[in-house]
Amino acid sequence: MTADVAIIGLGYVGLPLAQEASRAGLGVLGYDISQRVVDGLNEGRSHVDDLSDDDIEQMRQAGFRATTDAAEIGGAKTVVICVPTPLSEDGGPDLRPVESAVATIAENLQPGMLVILESTTYPGTTDEVVRPVLEKGGLVAGTDFHLAFSPERIDPGNETFGAKNTPKVVGGHSPACTDAAAAFYGRFVDTVVRAKGTREAETAKLLENTYRHINIALVNEMARFCHDLGIDLWDVIAAAKTKPFGFQAFYPGPGVGGHCIPIDPNYLSYNVRAKLGYPFRFVELAQEINATMPAYIVQRAQNILNEDAKALKGATVLLLGVTYKPNIADQRESPAVPLAQQLLAKGAVVTYHDPHVTEWTAAGDQVQRVEDLEQGVREADLTILVQNHREYDVDALASQAVAFFDTRGVAADGEKVQRL
């Protein structure tokens, strides 16, 4: 069976891509090594926040099908790699999922096929890691098949920008490869942006998230000294962002999470050190600042309790929202995890509530879920707003709390409220 595109990896990146391609009338085959994921999709069940079961059913009606049979990849005109690239123990990218996907494609590579890597990685991966494996069988990139990189820009939970209306950057191994990738994405993405080559496209993705990482670190560091100086940083940011040029508002928080900001800049920093022998100091400083925010939140929590003549040890601390961003269930790299771990290490009794997370085991089995939110807030010695889900009436919760620590700057001023 032939398909217009086979998408390798059916998670937060691959599945929205499959949805848009299906909507545009392309024949889409989804490949994943997880039998559970494949069976669920073929039965019409979604496992990611941005797609509902109805969305999956519409994809199925349009011809989408998932499989664990790698041989079916050989019947696709285009193959897109959308597998995760977490950090390895030494701080560099763990390319094993990419290497596994590429090896699978190499076994099924056909002349004329277009292969695109979307997984975030360091500059040079497409040319130095992907291409040699694909060429082992004798086919040559740029001559016998097309090869390109196109960074994923999926933002889980974003109701404004999705796979279709977010501009798509593409960079090919050759100009003809770029043209082939641009033509493919142009069938279902509104705007396609051509980069000079694969390295430029790879680096563009890292620049985007490094920019965010560094600016978040800037306001996180400002949050600390503004608190010590008695300055309301949230008011400062509100005033500064009225400037219509030269400023973009970033906001402090309890740390950074998700699949991009805590990880992607490290790819660039690792690559610079490995290849050039010197540090990318901005990234390493930003990482240091952002990684210490949970510890700073614990310190502030301890101080808030001290003001009420309470010790952190033995106090009940309720965490509101444990996902990495609001209004979704995604917990990847959530700062709530180190926050809970450090509170527990200091002897606090930690509980949590999250409308999107019914079971939270990331911090061990010591953190119990509060089922009655209002009762939990009233009974806790300190309530910390870690993630501001739309389901929370923050001011109402703050009014019922013994003490309320707002790390997101959304609660109105009040005697019980302290803000980051």
Q: Are 330 and 372 in contact (CB under 8 A)?
A: no
CA dist list (Å): 4 to 1, 25, 183, 205, 324: 10, 9, 12, 26, 34
What distance in Å separates the CA atoms of residue 153 and residue 170, rounded to the nearest whole number? 12
Could you give the CA distance from residue 320 to residue 312 in angstroms, rounded to a whole number? 18
CA distances from 144 to 110, 115, 132, 176, 292 (A): 9, 11, 14, 11, 50
User: CA-to-CA distance for 180 and 193, rounded, in angstroms?
Assistant: 13
The two tokens of residue 252 are 């402090």
Give CA–CA dist 319/330, Å, rounded: 16
Whole-angstrom CA distances from 406 to 291, 376, 382, 414 are 19, 16, 11, 11
Determine which one of 82, 177, 226, 260 is catalytic: 260
Give the other-Cβ count within 10 Å of 82's Cβ: 27
173-182 b/e with 16+ CB inside 10 Å = b? bbeebbebbb
Tokens of 257: 């999470």
Beta strands in 129-221 (DSSP E): 146-149, 168-172, 192-194
Active-site residue, 226 included: no
Nearest Cα to Cα of residue 93 among 274, 237, 216: 274
- Hey, how many other C-beta atoms are within 10 angstroms of the C-beta on 4? 18
CA distance 159 to 419: 27
DSSP SS3 for 248:
coil
Residue 266's alpha-carbon distances to 87, 124, 129, 247, in angstroms, are 8, 15, 18, 25
Residues classed as catalytic: 260
